[in-house]
Amino acid sequence: MSFKTKFDPDLAVLPIFVAQWGDDPAGATISYQNNVLRDEIGAWEGVEFLKLLDMISHGHGKENLSNLISRGSLVLGGTISGFELKLHSRMGPSHFQMVISDNTELNAARDREQRTSLINSFLNLGSHELKTPLNGILGLAELLVMNESDPEKLELLEMIRESGRILDGTVSRMLTTIYADGDEQIVQEDDGPLDLSKCIQSKYSLLEKHLQGLEFSRESLHLESTLMAGISEQHFLDILTEVAINLRRNTPPGKRVEIFTIDENDTVHMIVENECQGIPPRDWDRVFDPLYRFQDASQHTSGFEYGQGGIGMGLTVLKKIMDRISARVWFENRDEYSVGQENLVRMHLVFPVPG
């Protein structure tokens, strides 16, 4: 039996440790350890299971092992290498299985690794499979539009072409997310300097197009920064587009949007505010995860309430660009978050100034 792939549905998690024995359970040795756990607390393969229990329980390993053998299962809390762990162990016919079942830092790291691997595999396959037929659809749609004179047919063709362009943009963002960390052309692109205030002012029409139906005008721009930011114009336009799309999808009709730029401590700050229902504090970091969308079951937030739901890729692309140029981005609520209560969300983007 391969214990590396063993899965216990009652525990509903992948195994962290598996310890096997021959004649006596007290002599069990560890034969499998999750990679994330190995990286964080050291390798335990081949080590006596009793030694691990002894370390977690501060010298009470024999007592806990005896309880595990007699009861068949054991829940144990303790510390390894500074990590507070809660472990569930279960006894099999010739092995012990131990897993981390609470929301510890190690468990979160393991989940992130597994989720990222799965998402990247899906995006890689899906985006490439979509890109080729999309190019054909867009090309044929362009030809049909150029050669069609019937108004009704032309309207339908324009709808096909526009839908294709939207889907093409989505696929492109998926590809950007996959390759942003390794694409040499992207990484080596000139990073500035750029006058953010002037660039935002010159792209007002782009913002206006995306923010139709919201309380947004030229008076909503408060552009006071004068320092040059260390980012290329193309990268910043990518960011500005994703910011605008995020605002459109997460701002109720008629609500206010404002954009500020200021200089502070040799950095350029761009602050984007929009009136909405706020972001739960637990989701402030998760909003940048691939395919993540916050959707409160009672409020239908994250664009679905406003008919603009996306697939959750835009902020991931934005964060990758910011990380590449050593810039920072985060969200905060003006008021304490409460489900269904109107709030104001501030998105902070802080850009370095070239030395």
CB-based burial of residue 111 (10 Å sphere; 0-12 exposed, 13-18 middle, 19+ buried)? middle
Domain annotation for the chain: domains and CATH numbers: 3-102 (3.30.450.20), 110-179 (1.10.287), 190-352 (3.30.565.10)
How far is it, in rounded angstroms, from Cα 68 to Cα 71?
Answer: 5
Rounded to the nearest 10 degrees, the angle between the axes of helix 151-179 and helix 105-146 is 150
Amino acid 65 reads L
Residue 123 sits at φ, ψ, to 5 deg, of: -65, -40
pLDDT (0 to 100) of residue 292:
62
Instruction: Give me the residues of the chain with pLDDT under 70, please.
Output: 1-15, 36-37, 39-40, 81-83, 100-129, 131-132, 166, 169-191, 290-314
Q: pLDDT digits over 169-200, tens only? A: 666 666 665 555 444 344 444 567 999 999 99
How far is it, in rounded angstroms, from Cα 33 to Cα 100?
Answer: 12
Q: Are strands 221-223 and 257-264 parallel, antiparallel or unpaired?
A: parallel
38, 53 Cβ separation under 8 angstroms? no
pLDDT (0 to 100) of residue 230:
92
Q: pLDDT digits over 318-340, tens only? A: 888 888 888 999 999 999 888 87
pLDDT (0 to 100) of residue 253:
92
pLDDT (0 to 100) of residue 291:
62
Give the pair of three-digit tokens for residue 290: 């691939």
How far is it, in rounded angstroms, from Cα 269 to Cα 174?
Answer: 27
In three-state secondary structure terms, 106 is helix
pLDDT (0 to 100) of residue 215:
95
Helix extents (H) in the chain = 35-41, 49-56, 61-71, 105-146, 151-179, 184-187, 196-202, 204-210, 233-250, 314-324
pLDDT (0 to 100) of residue 23:
87
Q: Are strands 17-20 and 29-33 parallel, antiparallel or unpaired?
A: antiparallel
If we measure between CA atoms, which residue out of 229, 226, 258 comes closest to residue 346? 258
How far is it, in rounded angstroms, from Cα 222 to Cα 262?
Answer: 9
